[in-house]
Amino acid sequence: MEKKEIKQRENLDETVEKIIGAAPDKEEPRRFCRKCLTREMDQTEYFQNLHEYIAHLDKDLKVDDTVYEARLAHCKTCDDLYQGMCRICGCYVELRAAMKKNRCPQVHPRWNRVKNDE
């Protein structure tokens, strides 16, 4: 695994820990609940952390804004988009679309991978 991928995974782990273990009060010790369901989480904080994570993805791994918005435009017109998630892969499309290595999971993808030199 490349150094960047390792760093990305570490960042993702930290973000996931923030999402699932965030305590509302800073005085309160952070709770880590790896078994929580999304319905048990504070949705506002969950999505804030998700958007923060997307904003701070490594530039080498992330698509530029034009590609990102084009991908999301495809998702917006797709019947498989449901409440921000792709019904085929289960990903939040805003996160999936941010990564160069990802593609739409349909058999005939609506958007494709971006190579690093593109």
Q: Which residues sit at the interface with ligand SF4, rule CB under 6 A?
A: 74-75, 78, 80-81, 86, 88, 93, 104-106, 110
- Work out how close the CB of 82 gets to ligand SF4 at its nearest, in angstroms, rounded to a whole number: 8
What HEC string does 14-67 produce?
A: HHHHHHHHCCCCCCCCCCCCCCCCHHHCCHHHHHHHHHHHHHCCCCCCECCHHH
Is-contact 93 72, C-beta < 8 A? Answer: yes
Q: Pick the closer one to ligand SF4 by CB: 44 or 83.
A: 83
Q: Pick the closer one to ligand SF4 by CB: 22 or 100.
A: 100
Q: Pick the closer one to ligand SF4 by CB: 18 or 96.
A: 96
Q: Pick the closer one to ligand SF4 by CB: 19 or 95.
A: 95
- Work out how close the CB of 100 gets to ligand SF4 at its nearest, in angstroms, rounded to a whole number: 15
- Work out how close the CB of 69 gets to ligand SF4 at its nearest, in angstroms, rounded to a whole number: 13
- Work out how close the CB of 111 gets to ligand SF4 at its nearest, in angstroms, rounded to a whole number: 7
Helix, coil or strand: residue 69:
helix
Q: Tell me the C-alpha distance between 31 and 10, whole Å.
A: 19
Rg (CA), the chain: 16
